[in-house]
Each structure stands twice: as structure tokens, then as C-alpha cells.
Amino acid sequence: MADRVSHAPLLGLLFGTEAAFGLFSDQARLQGMLDFEAALARAEARLGVIPANAAPAIVDKCRAELFDLDALARAAAGAGNLAIPMVKQLTELVARADQDAARFVHWGATSQDAIDTGLLLQLRHFLDLADGDLARLSDALARLTEAHGQTPMVGRTWMQHALPITFALKTAGWLDAIERHRRRFAELRPRLLVVQFGGAAGTLAALGPRGLDVAEALARELDLGHPAMPWHGQRDRMAEVAALLGLVLGTLGKMARDLSLLMQTDVGEAFEPAAAGRGGSSTMPHKRNPVAAAAVLAAATRAPGLVATMLSAMVQEHERGLGGWHAEWETLPELCRLMAGALHQMAETMAGLELDPVRMRANLDATNGLIMAEAVTIALGSALGRLAAHELVEQACREAARSKRHLRDVLAAHETVGKHLSVQDLDRLFQPLHYVGQAGRFVARVLGARVVAGPRDK
């Protein structure tokens, strides 16, 4: 049997990425907590809260590869969290090298300090990863938007033909939403990335008058912000990042839904990139399935329940919660993995998106000009009044559909229409690009507002 070296389970790379699974692996979770412990020892030693020579001995053992993860997992089931057996193993490792230093492991901290701050360190790396893929997706969407301002297609409402739009208008809508998410991620960072350090009940009583000094030094060591107070029982930060992940997944799901509909055989206007082994069927050789869209839609379907769990977990008891905090531990990493996977899938898809403008034009013509009915109604409305014009064109549409004639021909033969619209007028009214309204200006506004560099680089 072949050995697997990937962090991801068998279905992991369908719904996640190797990088995201690595960031939220068991070893990464443990290393985040150990990074907290190492920084705490350095900060306290620098302030003279613990002996200066204790810190190097502690820091030297804050390496996940030195720990027995199976033993930690078994012990965590009885202890109620991972930090308690982690601190015990760390103390034992330090004691083998320096008995005196071992006395100062985890000095003045509580389990939640290590677990929350360790998770924040993982989330910081995750946000960097997300920033990169959001920027890649933004770049791909911007290129599509810039290239297709004059590519007409059917605009659809209620799943039916509505009016002509441009493909650039569709991609600009996706791009505009992605750019809002990029700004949201940038705005979230200073609120989210703050150290958790409060000791047993959020008072830092064990450190006496040096508590705030240690907290500030710890924050500097970890390059995290220092909040006004510990936030053990206030989970809005974690809920906010979860909600943002849910918003991004919703946007990616909308894009995936649009793309899968455009890929339908009967529509055939846009396609995921073709590649060997991609999108095939186990039995039907002709199939070209929207596999990336399927994975993104699956992630978007799972997200609301996970976000709801994080929101429910906000209701915690007194100074330290029972159960709600614990519910976050697997929920938030799962959301992160799902978002990372969906974002990566969509960035890759949009970078290689295949379009069929000829089919787009054919679909515009599929209803024999009915899609341009509103344009004629508006043109006639100034002379006949809106309601009268609407009724005239509606009757013409019914006649065109009944006789299977082009709406333009039906209208050209209509006596009332001939009094107000010339043949040249009708020709112009039945050109889709003459009736896309402010699409071009909307597209230009979205492209003009786009952050070319990452939000953190502004």
C-alpha cells in the first residue's frame, strides 16, 4: 500500500488545498500553542518576571516535532482541552534539560490563552494565503472584464431571457463583490489579530502588578495587537472571521452557480478550463462536467451551518465558556479549509475560463428578437405613451411567437409602428449592444475602484 504524505484526506483537495490543510494540521495547531509558550517565556524573562536563563530552556523545547501527538490526543479527551497535556509534556521536556526552568513553563497563563493565541497565529498565516488567492481571482476577473466590454450576451432574470448585457457586466459584478471581500479582510486584521492573555479568570492576578507589562511584551513578541482586555468569553472576533468566510463562500457559490448554468449543453456560453481527466464521466465519454463549480457549490452549501455554529458559540457563560468555546475548535478550521479550497478552485477556473461569443450571440437571437421588445417599447413610448406602447409590442411579440417570425419583421409591418419608427430605427433597436444601458460605465467604475495591489500594500 502506498504511503500518503499529504496533510489532506482523500477528498481534501476537492474541497480544500494542501496549504490550508497544512496550516490547520494537528502539528500546526500544536506549534501555534507552543509559539505562544515560547513568546511568553521570552517576554517574562525580559521583564524579570521569570529568571532570564529559564527562557532559552523553555523556548528550545517549544517545537512540535518533540511531542507525542497520540499521547496528547488521548490526554486531551480526559483533560477537556489540548493545552493541559501540552503544558505537561512541555514541562517534562524542559525538566530533562533544566529542572529550574521547568518551574516557569506557562507562568501566569491559562489554557485558553495558549489555545486562542495559537489559533490566531494560524489564522494570520491563513489570511495571508487568502489574500494571495483573492488577489489572483481579482486579477483574472479584471482581465475578463477588460476584454469583454463589447461581448453581448443574454441577461437572465428568473432563469429566463430578460435583456442584453455584456459578459463584462457579469464578470464586473463578480469582481466588485471580490473587491469588497478584499477590503473586509484588510479591515478585519487589526480587530482579529490581538493576543489573548488573561490568566485564569481574565485578571492576570497570578502576575501581580506586572500583568499588563507581560501582556504588552507578549503581544510584541508575537507581532499581535494588544487589546483593551482579555476576551475569553467575548467571541465576536472569531464569529466575525467566520461570518466573513461565509460571505466569501456565498460569493464564490454565486459565481459557481452562474458558471454551471452557462456550461449547460443548451446554453454553452462559458466553460471551465479543459484538461486531461477533468470533468469527464465514468460512463458517458461526451460529458464535460463543471467539476470546479460543483466543489465550490458544495462548500457554499456547507458554510451556513458552520457559520451558524460559530454564532451560536458566542453565547458563553460568565468569564470562561463551557462548550461554546470548544465548539469553535474544529468548526473554524473547517470553514477556513472550505473557503481556501473554493477560492483556489475559482481563481484557477477564472484564469483559464473558456468563452464562446458566437454561442452567446446565437442565444441572443434564439427568440427571434423578443429580447429586444423593451427597447422598442421605450422608443415608441414617447409618442404613444408607455402603456399603449407596451400593449402594442406585447401583441406583436405574441404574433411573432405564433407565426415564428422575427419580431422586427412583425413590427415593420405594423402601421402604427411605421408612423414613428423607420426601418433604420428598427435595425438600430434590434442591435443588442445598443441596449445595454450603463453597462460600460458600471464596468469602468468597478475597474477604476479596484485595488491592484493587495489591501495590505495600500
Mind telling me the catalytic residues?
281, 320
Closest CA to 12 of 21, 3, 4: 21
Q: Hunting for cell 482579555 — which residue is that?
A: 230
How far apart are alpha carbons 389 and 423 in whole angstroms?
18
SS (H, E, C) the chain: CCCCCCCCCCCHHHHCCHHHHHHCCHHHHHHHHHHHHHHHHHHHHHHCCCCCCHHHHHHHCCCHHHCCHHHHHHHHHHHCCCHHHHHHHHHHHHHHHCHHHHCCCCCCCCHHHHHHHHHHHHHHHHHHHHHHHHHHHHHHHHHHHHHCCCCEEEEEECCEEEEEEEHHHHHHHHHHHHHHHHHHHHHHHHHHCECCCCCCCCCCHHHHHHHHHHHHHHHHHHCCECCCCCCCCCCHHHHHHHHHHHHHHHHHHHHHHHHHHHCCCCCCCEECCCCCCCCCCCCCCCCCCCHHHHHHHHHHHHHHHHHHHHHHCCCCCCCCCCCHHHHHHHHHHHHHHHHHHHHHHHHHHHHCCEECHHHHHHHHCCCCCHHHHHHHHHHHHHHHCHHHHHHHHHHHHHHHHHHCCCHHHHHHCCHHHHHHCCHHHHHHHCCHHHHCCCHHHHHHHHHHHCCCCCHHHC
Q: Is the alpha carbon torsion for 245, 124, 177, 234 positive or negative?
A: positive
Residues 6 or more apart from 25 whose CB is under 8 A from it? 7
**331: which 3 cell numbers?**
468548526
